[in-house]
Structure 1
Amino acid sequence: MTFMAADEEHGETAARRPATFDPEAARRHMGVDADGFRRVFDCIWDEVSRRRSLLDAAYASGDLDGVALQAHTIKSSAASIGAEALSRAAAAVETAARQQTAEALALAIGRFNAARETLSRLAGIC
């Protein structure tokens, strides 16, 4: 299974648009081959999915500290696999949860879910 970088999907160059998903840069940074990166990606994706469920449960129960904690962990995990858009979206969720801004948090969670869906499509996980 191969990954598709965001600029490949949209026919745009990285210079015109901030990186959404750069698996090759992440793979090179880790110093692993494509198979090794896939294994790391799969492990981290499972963790992100688990943390997303915990984030959703915390949000539903009004536990903003729990939302911030899960978003913080997702932010770091996503960055480690080159998923910059997801990392930025998780950072926005974390910030809104810490500031206890209900409207901003709802908007940030919507953007986070959209970024996760985009990454899922780019990674061929759908």
Structure 2
Amino acid sequence: MLYGGEYFGEYVYRQPATTAEVLNLVTAAQEDPYRGYAGDGDSRWTPEAVRDWWRDRGRVTEYLESLLPRWSSSDRPDEREAAEGLRDFAAYITEGLGGDLRQYLFRLEEGCYRKNSGPLPELR
């Protein structure tokens, strides 16, 4: 999870990959007084919207890079902790997000996750 946006709320920048991460996400959602966690991504994301976001991902990395110096050296422990999330998110955009988005595109386009090792849609 990371913090940001207009109201400086939490957001999930990647799907949980371990049991512990799933439990942390469920706990955060249960404790969120504003009900900001939702499982409605499929009703908001289309293949075109995913590809548009990917093409414009430089805006996100610029935003993360602009926050990192201030949060890394902040006197506030929560901002220093969030700086770690900034680094993780930036690394994920570079190293793993493209593959995950291609799998998500397959699910959006085909209605299920890929069951074999066939080709995945391109992000273009």
TM-score (norm 1): 0.31
The structure whose residues are more often helix, as a share, is 1
The structure whose residues are more often strand, as a share, is 2
TM-score (norm 2): 0.31
